[in-house]
A and B are shown apart, each in its own frame.
Chain A
Amino acid sequence: GAVVSQHPSRVICKSGTSVKIECRSLDFQATTMFWYRQFPKQSLMLMATSNEGSKATYEQGVEKDKFLINHASLTLSTLTVTSAHPEDSSFYICSAKSRGHSMNTEAFFGQGTRLTVV
């Protein structure tokens, strides 16, 4: 199947700094990318959906100024956690689908990034 690579897999940063997480589709053009977050022992929650070349659509309760999503090319989307705080510590996962995938259930997922803010 198609491969989605997410980097880094783990990151520790100081409170107040910004962290960028990359999500790349390695062998297909990702017209749509999804970003999820999972707190310990809780469900994987959709944060935002981004279509290549347009602004991301954020889910209710997700701060767009804090979680900056860029989807400037068909193979790369980035999530930047700005001015990170300990409560932003979480597991972040991206998924990507091409124009040929009718449902996001057919999207391919990255390995996830464990962010720890100290």
Chain B
Amino acid sequence: GDSVTQMEGPVTLSEEAFLTINCTYTATGYPSLFWYVQYPGEGLQLLLKATKADDKGSNKGFEATYRKETTSFHLEKGSVQVSDSAVYFCALSDAFSGGYNKLIFGAGTRLAVHP
């Protein structure tokens, strides 16, 4: 079945460092890909998305490119801030998996940014 694999955390960075959180997926159809973020004490929020190959999703300085050839959707940010400390979830939604807009999540990656 469809699945999402993301790098295990925690990821610890200094402020202004470059961030990459790896995400790869397996899917039988043509999935849409998402990154969600959960700040401490809050619910998951949609951070960005890409619906087809080569699309780039971006928001709040974060970006991720849908790479069909490598089945990846890595999250990047050029200069992280302390306020970016959160748990990041990669997810896919595959209209052809039988669960039309069912979301399939990775395990989440905790990011801790220090001043």
Chain A residues with CB under 8 Å of chain B are 1, 4, 6, 9, 36, 38, 41-46, 93, 95, 102-106, 108-112
Contacts and interface: CB of A to CB of B under 8 A. Distances in A.
Contact of B44 (A45, A93, A104): A93
A104 B103 contact: yes
Nearest to A44: B105
B101 A109 contact: no
A6 B41 CA distance: 11
B104 interface: yes
Contact of B101 (A1, A45, A103): A103
B108 A109 contact: no
B43 A105 contact: no
Interface of A, helix, strand, loop or mixed by DSSP: mixed
Interface string B74-115: 000000000000000101010000010111111110000000
Interface in B59-80: none
Given A104-B101, A104-B102, A105-B93, A41 B43 contact: no
Interface residues of B, number: 26
B43 A4 contact: yes
Given A43-B104, A109-B44, A110-B43, 20 more contacts: A6-B43, A9-B41, A38-B107, A44-B108, A46-B99, A46-B102, A46-B103, A93-B44, A95-B43, A103-B101, A104-B93, A104-B102, A104-B103, A105-B34, A105-B91, A105-B93, A105-B101, A109-B36, A111-B42, A112-B43
Contacts of B17: none
A105 B44 contact: no
Contacts of B3: 43
Contact of A105 (B4, B41, B49, B89): B49
